[in-house]
Amino acid sequence: MGVPGGGTGSSCGRLVAAAASLVLLIHLICGCASPAAAAAATAGGGGERGAKYKDPKQPLNARVDDLLRRMTLAEKIGQMSQIDQENATAGVISSYFIGSVLRGGGSVPAADAPPEAWVEMVEEIQRAALSTRLGIPAMFGIDAVHGHGYVYKATVFPHNVGLGCTRDPELAKRVGAAVALEVRATGIPFIFAPCLAVCRDPRWGRCYESFSEDPKLVQQMTSIISGFQGEIPASGRRGAPFIAGQRNVAACAKHYVGDGGTTRGINENNTMATFHQLLGIHMPPYYSAVIQGVSTIMVSYSSWNGVKMHANRFLITDFLKNKLRFRGFVISDWLGLDRITSPEHADYPLSVKLGILAGIDMVMIPYQYKEFRDDLTTLVRNGTILMSRIDDAVRRILRVKFILGLFENPYADPSLAGELGKQEHPDLAREAVRKSLVLLKNGKPGDEPLLPLPKKAHVSILVAGSHADDLGSQCGGWTIKWQGLTGNNLTAGTTILDGIKRAVGPAGTNVVYSESPDAGFIERNKARFDYAVVVVGEHPYAETAGDNLNLTIPAPGPAIIRNVCGSIRCVVVLVSGRPLVVEPYLGAVDALVAAWLPGTGGQGVADVLFGDYGFTGKLSRTWFRSVDQLPMNVGDAHYDPLFPFGFGLETQPSIY
């Protein structure tokens, strides 16, 4: 039965038809969508009912093609936009068709938030994304560079510099799988890890995020990607983005390319290298990452021979996408497009043009998403950026979203709620700590080795140093906060002091802790102690703030070493993200251990100190004598290290 006065021959009917035709014409003129998509939009159904892209039985490319042809330009630009969680209101997501959200800058659901609060935060964003015309799910991303470190009570593993010292790709894979489960427990499917930088200068504040100065070792440790994403089956296609299922996450190899080779190790600086040097030193880890099916790759802030990587079409499009045939999507770093110009954000339309034409697909724009949309829309409409470039970007993003399973499973799997911090993960972290420790000295000339330490009745131990009982300093940067925190009230874990007390407790050994004993204390009490454990090192830091041109042990570390080790047999445990100047103290100490940044598993340090396990770690970095030698890497013509790349004394487990 018809509606009175509603026939096509009526004036009202003619107005409706004219309006529909006008909408269709606008879409066609703008190049915003196909005629079918525009017609469907005017019908009010969005074309989604019975659509191929919603059918999981359809081939991947058919789903991507079907969805892409339905999208307007505004919807495509929305998919290319990643905004900060603090700005990701339901209104913003639905109005701007935002395709991705990140947790950055310290935003959390609440202080000490449990997994359930994280899940609710992510799902609120997802509900807004699914309510849009086409219902394209959002992709929430977070930094998880050594565990799900921003989340309270997550397992914090050793930073990559320590994992590199294990020389154990299978261990790295297991760490990756554990991290993926803890991230999924909070409802998050996408992480900005691993860092595949080949750090050539320890003065760089991100050097601890690098597995090694040696590209071959970094290549081996890319096995962590298969832990994050799952192992490609034997019948699967190598080199195509791959994510095994809801127990895995989409990984992000970063920072493409040359970030570890900047002049003097200055963050975001210039890497001077021939193309041959770039291919030989900094590119190899990306070969392995692409073969393992890494889903995304993040572009570096740094420059190569003066050209900003965020604007480098040759390396992003010609080499990565065309030569290496990378099929995932390329993402910018935080405000990466802004930093193409100097000063930052000086000419944003130019930055958008250069970045998108270079081949960046998703843009991390925490704040200025409206400006990005407007500028990119103008650049497409005036022909500066072709629709084919936009479609390439969106096709890559949608491909990863389909592979990630977001269309079928956009919300968290409640069965994974208990994965955060479950006992198997701290146990794995403790194993990783044990295998990462490098023994640099064990005994003075003519003396018996000090390690492993005895744990027996009537032995008295002095434990000293700023880092002996400081969980935050053990974890370093990217833990709860971007730059990290000191203290023991930030998350759950075991300090090195806790580990020592637990290791010797059953034997009845007496442990005395003094954070910073002065010379008077030592003189009065030196006869009491059989030996001392001195734990000192760097304070937490992350990129830029961690750049350091002198690399000395921070105060009061040197004074503690002098006071204690001058009178008592001592082992110094150095907690740091890189080699530091230690030669002035070598004569005074009986044993020296590089503990790197071991994370929340401090008991792993005690396990090896007291001989429950032997030392096996080998240096993943050259240990210099003086900063004047830097940069100095294995294979250099003038190679004169204090401890060479690959060095590490070994001990056997004790039999008690």
- Is 333 a catalytic site residue? yes
Q: Are 602 and 612 in contact (CB under 8 A)?
A: no
Residues comprising the chain, all counted:
656
What backbone torsions phi and psi does residue 388 show, to the nearest 5 degrees?
Answer: -65, -35
d(CA 645, CA 647) in angstroms, rounded, equals: 6
C-beta neighbour count of 239 within 10 angstroms: 16
Cα distance between residue 254 and residue 269, in whole Å: 16
Which residue has 């003086």 as its token pair?
626
Query: Does residue 289 contact residue 256 with C-beta atoms inside 8 Å?
Result: no
% helix / strand / coil in the chain, to the nearest 5?
Answer: 40, 15, 45
543 in catalytic set:
yes
Instruction: List residues bridging with 156 in a β-sheet.
Output: 147
Strands 591-596 and 460-464: unpaired
Question: Is residue 248 within 8 Å of residue 230, measured between CB atoms?
Answer: yes
Distances (CA, A) of 537 to 79, 213, 473, 561: 44, 21, 8, 11
Q: Token digits for 303? A: 């420059």
535 preceded by cis ω (within 30°)? no
* Sign of the alpha-carbon torsion through 303, 309, 312, 316: positive
582 is written with which tokens?
């230690």
**Catalytic residue chosen out of the listed positions 213, 375, 543, 590:** 543
- Please work out, in degrees rounded to the nearest 5, the angle formed at the alpha carbon of residue 35 by the alpha carbons of 33 and 39: 100
- For the record, the structure tokens of 331 come out as 């993402």
524-546 core/surface letters (b: 16 or more CB in 10 A; e: else): ebeeebbbbbbbbbbbbbbbeeb
**AA letter at 379:** L
Of the candidates 367, 535, 382, 369, the one whose C-alpha atom is nearest the C-alpha of residue 463 is 535
Paired with 593 in beta bridges are 439, 573
Please give the Cα distance from 59 to 337 (Å, whole number).
Answer: 34
Which has the closest alpha carbon to 183: 207, 156, 222?
156
Active-site choice (143, 209, 259, 333): 333
Q: Residue 417 has what DSSP assignment? A: G
Query: 3-state DSSP call for residue 83?
Result: strand
Rounded CA separation 533/570 (Å): 6
Helices 369-381 and 348-358, axial angle in degrees (round to 10): 70
Q: For residue 360, give both structure tokens.
A: 């960046």
Residues with a known catalytic role = 333, 543
